[in-house]
Structure 1
């Protein structure tokens, strides 16, 4: 079970009471698939939580890696985050549009780079707006912060590690993509990728972990049932994966809420594994 201090989620009430706290920094980490308009940064400029800065998942990434938004080096992460006005002493609260796609990605990056004081706003902008809370428009220009980062490599996995896992089955692989994409019956949004999933992986679609109406994450019992129904053993090591290493972290967040620690992200995810010359793929149900 997750104690309240250890819960990665915070409520809209909690955040509303702390918007004036200079040590609480709010980031909008909304993300959309390539080609979907308006761009998340334009949505941010139209309406964001008071004082929030935009955390660009595609920009806070390794610029020299052809794969989408791969983890940057620690030096770059520290530089990008400090430019957002965030310092190592601050508590960071990440939110997204309320579709739960990318706030958990930002949360996991902060944890991976050694910053434990990071939370996710339950329900995101969607819940905030439903409750009639205020938003601002335009850009926030913060005073640069002082941030130190050091990557713990245990938070991420490479294709090589996942390929090795095909033989050892040392880690369970949980895929967050919608069922038709996992089973290989629907095309990937990124062109040129093979359909299907990593052999032996389980499917827990990220969209099934939150309430589509309120935007809030489901209860601990519902989350537990989602993993159990997919054949995932919460007592054994887990790696999460998805299309490009973003929505997988919704699954990671749910696992974290259930007390699971030490899980990892396959950062390359299907945008790497699904390439034409990639490792073996499986299709159909898990």
Structure 2
């Protein structure tokens, strides 16, 4: 059998269905509940055949941090990936049950940790179901042959609040906020009631919903057009949101549009919105 090659950072359900049986393929379900929605995850007892649960909230977040969804250490990431059976030569496709929501966060974590043979499933589980592709009952044991993935070092692809204090006034950097415009302006309440409303000074609003159509990513041509609305050519791009989840959606969109100098503010508004003494605009 030929070596499996991922065609892009995002793949179609048609591509995945054709390669479902390839031995190099690992499918990860990175679903989480949407923080701004009360809807239950649909078809929560079913999954794409062979999928393994990538638990963002527990196994793949820093459990010692008071902030949600913070990037775990490389050792924890490596250990938990090995327990999922991920190998050095694994080709990984990640989906979620909303469409494109939390799967880009898992994709970004792998790229930060140095494993770049990873892609997001365009449209996720809803698109898989829409195309009437095969499903199976979810795996209950979660026990797999131990993988051998090796994480050498965490890439410097994140910024913290101290960096933001500098970068927000740096003309060579742009901060893009993936939250809704209402939350960005402080008009709509934050889902976490202990947070102040508003946005980081000089940051720009790019709600993650702008880069999506229903459950799928917009075409590359449309993404390029969206980013051309911002003066970001040759600049450092920093992506923020509520808790580091949807920032990864617009980072993935920027990558698909051809941008490369990409960073996540991992604490995002969960940190900035409760810090004392930092500037906030509405």
Distance 2:91 2:277 in 1: 40
Aligned to 2:281: 282
SS of structure 2 residue aligned to 1:109: helix
Aligned to 2:113: 113
Q: Confirm or deny that 1:168 pairs with 2:170.
A: yes
Q: 1:87 to 1:208 in 2, by over 3 A?
A: same
Distance 1:87 1:250 in 2: 25
SS of structure 1 residue aligned to 2:119: strand
SS of structure 1 residue aligned to 2:227: helix
Q: 1:110 to 1:65 in 2, by over 3 A?
A: same
Q: 1:84 to 1:105 in 2, by over 3 A?
A: same
Aligned to 1:271: 270
Q: 1:36 to 1:185 in 2, by over 3 A?
A: closer
Aligned to 2:144: 142
Map 1:212-223 → 2, pairs under 5 A = 212=214, 215-223=215-223
Which has the larger strand fraction?
A: 2
Preserved contact between residue 44 and residue 54 of structure 1 (Cα < 8 Å): no
Aligned to 1:126: 126
Per-residue Cα deviation, 1:211-266 (whole angstroms, up to 9, x for no partner) = 11xx221112221222233x242432101010000110110111111111120100
Q: Confirm or deny that 1:58 pairs with 2:60.
A: no
Preserved contact between residue 99 and residue 216 of structure 2 (Cα < 8 Å): no
Preserved contact between residue 6 and residue 119 of structure 2 (Cα < 8 Å): no
Q: How many residues align?
A: 275
Q: How far 1:154 sits from its partner (Å)?
A: 2.0
Per-residue Cα deviation, 1:9-47 (whole angstroms, up to 9, x for no partner) = 11111111111112100001112245966776xx67512
Preserved contact between residue 92 and residue 119 of structure 2 (Cα < 8 Å): yes
Distance 1:110 1:278 in 2: 34
Stretches of structure 1 lacking an aligned partner (at least 5 in a row): none
Preserved contact between residue 8 and residue 257 of structure 1 (Cα < 8 Å): yes
SS of structure 2 residue aligned to 1:174: strand
Q: How far 1:5 sits from its partner (Å)?
A: 6.2
Q: Confirm or deny that 1:184 pairs with 2:186.
A: yes
Preserved contact between residue 242 and residue 270 of structure 2 (Cα < 8 Å): yes
Map 1:193-232 → 2, pairs under 5 A = 193-212=195-214, 215-229=215-229, 231-232=230-231
Q: How far 1:165 sits from its partner (Å)?
A: 1.4
Distance 2:43 2:66 in 1: 26
With the length of structure 2 as denominator, give the TM-score of the two structures.
0.91
Q: How far 1:134 sits from its partner (Å)?
A: 1.2
- Note the aligned Cα RMSD (angstroms): 2.0
Preserved contact between residue 97 and residue 124 of structure 2 (Cα < 8 Å): yes
Stretches of structure 2 lacking an aligned partner (at least 5 in a row): none
Aligned to 1:86: 86
SS of structure 2 residue aligned to 1:167: coil
Q: 1:218 to 1:269 in 2, by over 3 A?
A: same
